[in-house]
Amino acid sequence: MATEHSRSSARIMIAPAVFVLLVWMLVPLCMTLYFSFADYRPMRATFDAWIGFDNYVSFLTSSSFLSSLGTTLLMVGGILIITITGGIGLALLLDQPMFGQGIVRILVIAPFFVMPTVSALVWKNMFFNVDNGLFSYLFKFFGAQPYDFLSQSPLLSIVVIVAWQWLPFATLILLTAVQSLSSEQLEAAEMDGAPPIARFWYMILPHLSRAITVVILIQTIFLLSIFAEIFVTTNGAFGTRTLTYLVYQRVLESQNIGLGSAGGIVAVILANIVAIFLMRIVGKNLDN
Amino acid sequence: MARAITPRKKIMWTALSWGIGLLIFFPILWTFLTSFKSEATAISDPPVWFLFDWTTENYTTVLERSNYPLALMNSIVIAVGSTILGIIIAVPAAWAMAFVPGKRTKDVLLWMLSTKMLPAVGVLYPLVLIAKYFGIMDSRILLVMILMLINLPIIVWMLYTYFREIPGEILEAARMDGASLKNEIIYVLTPMAVPGIASTILLNIILAWNEAFWTIILTTVNAAPLTKFIASFSAPEGLFYAKLSAASIMAIAPILIMGWFSQKQLVRGLTFGAVK
């Protein structure tokens, strides 16, 4: 029943949101694009507006880029594996009949609401610390040598911290999907004598596949820009420098704006590849 | 449930779930306990669990001897301010898209979402430059604006999904009965929209409160919220576990409680309707 009049007032109502987002996206991004073709190092008062693709070539061929890409993949991949498998298990568990289900849910979800700097520092000091951390006491209790997590396995330590934060997210979404599974079908399969593993593999997992895809895509987008956890634990040292962190260091620590901007554009392109898949799924859902 | 559940099975599931739930919650519980210990007790070997002299000394120390009150104030202003600003811009937009959908509505919605996926480092230096140019580095207004822009797509999206559930027929019926546009908005639309707007506000305050990229990079002291304040504990001197714990508990407690109330909205707000 939209009239011509309501159409135009609708446009006016949408305009402010579109305008601010357009400015927010275009202005800084164009500036980054512009800097990425420049030799711009404010500390040395160097500014050469056009050096072609030199920044891109030196960023993409530097060993720090390749190792940061590897670190990013390991970190994101590790976190995804832990949160997805853990999330499926927890979602199935929370779906079982039990006493105090609401409270267990609250306990499981809690880590998602802890701010990144708090969770990173709590884990770093009170769990991973080699002298006073709880894990050290635990190791000593079982007669083992205390293990210095953050300097021996820094990447794994950060994966654990971030996976702890994101496990609730995966659990919550997969639980929503599990609960929409028809229990009649499952019961029918059970009566027909399908063992639990077969029921999981042939009924539950296919039903969850879309939710799993969504969790993977959304988490990947957020995980590609992990920052605070690295900032307060290792500051990018010991092989924990992700692509995001490398760009941050190039831009703000070594003040090589041109090189860092080229890295920023590379990060934008990589994130967009993931985003396209997510947008397709979201778009399909909008239609029905 | 058609299936009979044996009490024994139920008890088994209960024990297992509670065990795992407590394990996941343990770091928060441990932080809570440590915040009431003395610094010496906090690192005692072996660790003490509940039987120690509970003290609130750490809380008073953190409150009195640090920038905590300022950081708390900054967090509140930034989280609430950016959310309210976002709501003001988003409500009309979501409203129009839900009730007067055009051919482009879907594209606009998807495009808005795509801005959310822009990696922050891609626009890092330009934002620092712009902030310096306007002399607003380390100011609350800068963070209010940036966090509003980061979360605006989620706000629009959530409001859109809520508004779309309001049946258009009710509006038509009100119009037929001769309700003026003003009355239609006040008496018909608003009551139905308030729950959706409230949960959107709640989730976005949580997201803004915990944002830890721009808040760390663009602030030093004056506008530093709790995320940045806590990060300053990463280079500590001497014994500090109990004080770190007290500061942490104060920083996460309000959001944890809000978060528990917004579990359902979390799924809706962060999956953009892709999981129902």
Nearest to A25 by CA among B262, B13, B133, B112: B112
pLDDT band of B53, cuts 50, 70, 90: confident
What predicted TM-score, i.e. pTM, was given to this entire model?
Answer: 0.89
- For residue B166, the 8-state DSSP code is S
Domains and CATH numbers, chain B: 7-59 (no CATH), 67-271 (1.10.3720.10)
Pairing state between β A46-48 and A39-41: antiparallel
| Residue of A126, A130, A226 to mutate when probing chain B, most B C-beta within 10 A | A126
Q: Which two tokens stand for residue B233?
A: 């504990």
Lowest-confidence region among A74-83, A131-140, A166-175, B240-249: A131-140
Smallest Cβ distance to B10: which of A97, A233, A261? A97
For chain B, how are helix, strand and coil distributed in percent, rounded to 5? Answer: 75, 0, 25
The number of CA neighbours under 13 Å toward the Cβ of A119 is 27
Rg over CA atoms, chain A: 24
On whether the A59-287 domain is CATH 1.10.3720.10, my answer is yes
3-state DSSP assignment of residue A225: coil
Interface check B135 vs A, CB under 8 A: no
**Residue B1 confidence (pLDDT):** 45
Q: How far apart are CA A235 and CA B130, in angstroms?
A: 26
Q: How far apart are CA A104 and CA A90, in angstroms?
A: 11
Q: How far apart are CA A247 and CA B213, in angstroms?
A: 13
Q: B124, A252: Cβ pair inside 8 Å?
A: yes
Express each pLDDT in A111-142 by its tens digit: 999 999 999 999 998 889 888 888 888 888 88
Express each pLDDT in B6-48 by its tens digit: 888 889 999 999 999 999 999 999 999 999 988 878 887 778 7
**Residue A202 confidence (pLDDT):** 87
- CB proximity list for A101: less than 8 A, separation 6 or greater: A94, B17
% of chain A surpassing 90 pLDDT: 42
| Residue of B91, B117, B144, B220 to mutate when probing chain A, most A C-beta within 10 A | B117
Q: How far apart are CA A228 and CA B226, in angstroms?
A: 13
Q: Is the pLDDT of residue B2 over 60?
A: no
How far from B163 is each of A16, A148, B30, B99, CA to CA, in Å?
A: 19, 52, 42, 8
**How many of the other CB atoms lie within 10 Å of CB of A198?**
11
Q: Is the pLDDT of residue B120 over 70?
A: yes
3-state DSSP assignment of residue A46: strand
- CB proximity list for A74: less than 8 A, separation 6 or greater: A155, A159
What residue segments make up the domains of chain A, in order of their start?
Answer: 59-287
Our CA-based measurement puts residue B98 at a distance from the nearest CA of chain A, in whole angstroms, of: 10
Look at the alpha carbons of A155, A160, A161, A163 in this order and tell me if their dihedral is positive or negative. positive
Average pLDDT, integer, range B196-220: 90
**How many of the other CB atoms lie within 10 Å of CB of B139?**
16
Q: Which two tokens stand for residue B120?
A: 């922050």
Q: B209, A115: Cβ pair inside 8 Å?
A: yes
3-state DSSP assignment of residue A226: coil
Q: How far apart are CA B231 and CA B237, in angstroms?
A: 14
Interface check B26 vs A, CB under 8 A: no
Q: Where are the beta strands (DSSP E) in A166-214?
A: none
Q: Is the pLDDT of residue B238 over 60?
A: no
Set of chain B residues whose Cβ sits within 8 Å of the Cβ of A106: 260
Q: Is the pLDDT of residue B3 over 70?
A: no
